[in-house]
């Protein structure tokens, strides 16, 4: 089988990596396509995957319209050359629209519910796999599973954090540290949204720095006063960093969810709600704030609890018992497609075989 996977965000490389490793080990051929936004190329290279870059990601509205035409054209000719049997993505407009033109099935994974994006790919997509907690009803194409995207690559079966990450961070083993994540607000779904103000960021850093080391991961360029905190590691090592962090605070939903799945307490600060972060709050792993009000107080409450990390890991363990192994499920679904879609429609409990 020849599989083309289109990547729109660095997190999508992580999402598909275990699935691709297994599919390649079974003799399948996989090609990644991407636009260069943040660390996509570095992650694809680190994983040893075959990929084709379509060039730089466009940030402006005019650029995005131009990009829709440009990237669809490149995708079309890439598919003519590669001849995929199936296309996968996390809501890729380009993969969906070109697959439709070529008469090939496109399967999308979706956990964000961004209608401004979904309305451009749903009509051209055969099936959409979503966490069961996604609030949006996507119609007959939707197949719900009990899990999160982050479990596809951070499930304990797949990921074991590197205990020597402290050496890369330049700290002693066991030292407390916090990870902060700031977003650039350039994505289409970020329009009109907000998170932490610059003053709130400064206050958070001052509070945390008095107790532990502070590292900042940022989508955009940091203001000068924050640059000394910028984390400088290979991007593929970020999950090791999150696993041993004392706490995570950030505007990025994915990294907040990743932290929770790894057993690190996370605070997600963004006016944009995410179903998976909301669900993780039930397990006491992620705490959700629509803006920066009350965040500093919550940080103080958490870091003053000597049982913080053990309590969070206990919540993570409970969550794991409730969810499926998403990568196992995805391998089965693609290998047996389209029969797998029929099975899931008729018997959704079939997914519990993938624990």
88 and 104, same structural domain? yes
Residue 152 lies inside a defined structural domain of this protein? no
Q: Which carries the bigger pLDDT value, residue 179 or residue 186?
A: 179
Predicted confidence band of residue 114 (pLDDT cuts 50, 70, 90): confident
pLDDT recorded at residue 200: 95
Residue 157 lies inside a defined structural domain of this protein? no
195 and 182, same structural domain? yes
Residue 126 lies inside a defined structural domain of this protein? yes
239 and 205, same structural domain? yes
Q: What is the CATH number of the domain that holds 98?
A: 3.40.50.2000
pLDDT recorded at residue 192: 54
263 and 140, same structural domain? no
The mean pLDDT of the chain is 93
pLDDT at residue 345 greater than cutoff 60: yes
What is the average pLDDT across 94-122? 93
The predicted-structure confidence for 220-262, as pLDDT tens digits, reads as follows 788 889 999 999 999 899 999 999 999 999 999 999 999 999 9
pLDDT recorded at residue 215: 98
Residue 155 lies inside a defined structural domain of this protein? no
182 and 138, same structural domain? no
Q: How many residues does the chain have?
A: 355
Q: Which carries the bigger pLDDT value, residue 100 or residue 40?
A: 100
pLDDT at residue 153 greater than cutoff 80: yes
The predicted-structure confidence for 308-333, as pLDDT tens digits, reads as follows 999 999 999 999 999 999 999 999 99
Q: How far are the Cα atoms of 13, 81, 91, 92, 292 from residue 5, in angstroms, in the given order?
A: 9, 15, 11, 9, 36
Q: Is the peptide bond before 338 cis (omega within 30 degrees of 0)?
A: yes
Structural domain boundaries, residue 299: 165-322
Residue 175 lies inside a defined structural domain of this protein? yes
Listed residue (100, 144, 146) closest to 126, CA to CA: 100
pLDDT recorded at residue 4: 98
224 and 140, same structural domain? no
In the chain, % of residues over pLDDT 90: 85
Residue 159 lies inside a defined structural domain of this protein? no
pLDDT at residue 126 greater than cutoff 80: yes
Residue 282 lies inside a defined structural domain of this protein? yes
Residues in a beta bridge with 242 = none
314 and 181, same structural domain? yes
133 and 62, same structural domain? yes
The rounded Cα 258 to chain-centroid distance in angstroms is: 8
Residue 7 lies inside a defined structural domain of this protein? yes
307 and 333, same structural domain? no
Predicted confidence band of residue 193 (pLDDT cuts 50, 70, 90): low
103 and 221, same structural domain? no
Domain count, the chain: 2
186 and 318, same structural domain? yes
pLDDT recorded at residue 220: 79
83 and 192, same structural domain? no
């Amino acid at each position: 089988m020849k599989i083309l996977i289109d990547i729109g965000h660095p997190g999508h490389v992580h999402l598909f990596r275990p699935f691709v490793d297994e599919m390649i080990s079974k003799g399948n051929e996989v090609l990644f396509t991407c636009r260069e936004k943040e660390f996509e190329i570095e992650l694809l290279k680190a994983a040893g995957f075959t990929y084709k870059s379509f060039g730089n990601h466009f940030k402006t509205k005019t650029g995005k319209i131009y990009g829709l035409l440009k990237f669809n054209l490149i995708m079309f000719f890439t598919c003519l050359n590669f001849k995929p049997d199936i296309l996968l993505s996390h809501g890729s407009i380009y993969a969906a629209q070109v697959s439709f033109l070529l008469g090939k099935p496109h399967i999308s994974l979706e956990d964000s519910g961004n209608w401004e994006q979904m309305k451009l790919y749903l009509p051209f997509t055969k099936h959409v796999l979503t966490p069961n907690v996604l609030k949006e009803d996507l119609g007959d194409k939707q197949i719900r599973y009990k899990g999160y995207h982050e479990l596809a690559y951070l499930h304990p079966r797949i990921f074991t954090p590197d205990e020597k990450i402290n050496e890369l961070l330049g700290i002693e083993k066991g030292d407390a540290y916090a990870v902060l994540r700031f977003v650039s607000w350039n994505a289409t779904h970020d329009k009109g949204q907000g998170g932490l103000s610059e003053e709130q960021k400064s206050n958070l850093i001052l509070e945390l720095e008095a107790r532990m080391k502070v590292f900042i991961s940022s989508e955009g360029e940091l203001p000068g006063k924050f640059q000394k905190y910028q984390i400088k590691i290979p991007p593929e090592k970020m999950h090791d960093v999150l696993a041993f962090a004392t706490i995570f605070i950030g505007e990025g939903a994915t990294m907040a969810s990743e932290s929770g799945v790894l057993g690190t307490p996370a605070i997600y600060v963004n006016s944009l709600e995410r179903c998976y972060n909301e669900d993780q709050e039930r397990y006491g792993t992620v705490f959700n704030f629509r803006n920066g009000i009350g965040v500093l107080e919550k940080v103080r409450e958490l870091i003053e609890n000597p049982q913080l990390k053990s309590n969070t890991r206990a919540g993570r363990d409970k969550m794991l018992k409730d969810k499926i192994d998403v990568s196992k499920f995805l391998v089965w679904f693609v290998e047996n497609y389209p029969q797998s879609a029929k099975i899931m429609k008729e018997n959704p409990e079939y997914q519990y075989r993938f624990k």
